[in-house]
Amino acid sequence: EIYDDSDKASLYVAQEISKLIVLRQQQNKNVVLGLATGSTPTKVYDFLVKFHKEGLSFKNVITFNLDEYYPMEPDSIHSYVRFMNEHLFDHIDVDKKNIHIPDGTVNKDNIREFCDNYEKKIVEAGGIDIQILGIGRTGHIGFNEPGSSITSKTRIIRLDRVTRLDAASDFFGEENVPTKAITMGVGTIMNARKVILMAWGEGKANIIKESVEGKIKESIPATFLQEHPNCDFILDQAAASSL
């Protein structure tokens, strides 16, 4: 779906999320959201905060974030924990115990166990209802870099050079960007009941074309979404300009 601009597109996504929250409240049930970081989803979070101020409660919401750099302290200015608190969690009434973000401080020897447990928690929560995604220039979703398989699960991954270059300005230099991250797998994302990938701006036009129209292949993990039964690409005009 192509919107005039990222404001209108983000409003649509926030409304989809809030509609499901309200529906589940009426049924006395929880909603499980898969959340993303990066600049792309920030306007969605702004709208959700606005909806909360207007009365929407997040008490029945359970969240799982896609990824975190490794190693990463939660109170670092670069952590995704901090990002999520600043953009969303500090401004809504979500129960803190319902928030899950991969732990960038977990001991090296325990990463495997942590990742398996993260998967288990998603299943125990009932599975992800809506997974929102941005997309990296390499075609990564979460931090599933080229080479990630369609069945991959939460794990530690080495970041692609392009991804680290893109993050360099946030970290005041490429040499400061962590070389690794913990990310949900492509398979974890594929298990979500609904997936919404968002992309804004001309810089994403090529990778969007490849992801939507290209052959399905591990070298562009976002192409796997073509196989998902309920996945929307929500784009602004510029991101859709090469389609």
Active site residues: 145
Interacting residue with ligand GLP among 134, 139, 185, 221 (CB under 6 A): 134
Nearest distance, CB of residue 39 and ligand GLP, angstroms = 4
Cβ-proximal residues to 179 (8 Å cutoff; 6+ apart), any chain:
158, 159, 164
Length of the chain: 243
Tell me the C-alpha distance between 164 and 149, whole Å: 21
- Judged by beta carbon, residue 56 or residue 238, the one nearer ligand GLP is 238
Question: Between β-strands 194-199 and 130-133, what pairing exists: parallel, antiparallel or unpaired?
Answer: parallel
- Judged by beta carbon, residue 39 or residue 230, the one nearer ligand GLP is 39
Provide the H-helix boundaries in 54-179: 80-87, 111-124, 161-167
Site for ligand GLP in 39-78 (CB under 6 A): 39-40, 66-67
Size of the site for ligand GLP (CB under 6 A): 13
Nearest distance, CB of residue 207 and ligand GLP, angstroms = 10
Question: Between β-strands 180-183 and 155-158, what pairing exists: parallel, antiparallel or unpaired?
Answer: antiparallel
Rounded to the nearest 5 degrees, what angle is found at the Cα of 81, between the Cα atoms of 77 and 84? Answer: 100
> Per CB under 6 A, does 102 bind ligand GLP?
no
Interacting residue with ligand GLP among 21, 33, 135, 208 (CB under 6 A): 135
Burial code (b: 16+ CB inside 10 Å, e: under 16) for 132-144 equals bbbbbebbbbbbb
Site for ligand GLP in 151-180 (CB under 6 A): 163
> Looking at 20-28, 101-109, 133-141, 220-228, which segment touches ligand GLP (CB under 6 A)?
133-141
Instruction: Give the HSE-up count for residue 199: Cα atoms under 13 Å, Cβ half-sphere.
Output: 28
Interacting residue with ligand GLP among 36, 49, 61, 192 (CB under 6 A): 36
User: Which positions lie near ligand GLP, rule CB under 6 A?
Assistant: 36-40, 66-67, 134-136, 142-143, 163
